[in-house]
Amino acid sequence: MVRHPLETLVSAGGILLLALLSCLLLPAPAFSLQMAHWLMATFHLQDLNQLYTLVFCLWFLLLGAVEYVVIRFIWRRWFSTAQP
């Protein structure tokens, strides 16, 4: 089976688009003050802004990847017209 040359680019774009939609709907994790200070010390961060920037970026990408895999599985399992 021949794959489209831009499939990887479309996959990455799909992950980011789904992550954007999910971040609007699902709240990001919130840490207690003790946990936040421990994470800042562990990762040598300057302030809470750096910590939450990293948390939001990772949350954004993680949700997008999970949603992409789930939707892709559902599409290929039940809605795809291609023969296996």
Residue closest to 24 by CA, chosen among 59, 58, 66: 59
Q: Is the pLDDT of residue 1 over 70?
A: no
Domain ranges (residues) in the chain: 18-79
Distance CA 27, CA 7 (A): 30
For residues 26 and 63, the answer to whether their CB atoms sit within 8 Å is yes
pLDDT in tens, 51-78: 999 998 888 788 778 888 888 888 788 8
Distance CA 7, CA 29 (A): 32
**Residue 76 has what pLDDT?**
82
Specify burial of residue 2 (Cβ count, 10 A radius: 0-12, 13-18, 19+). exposed
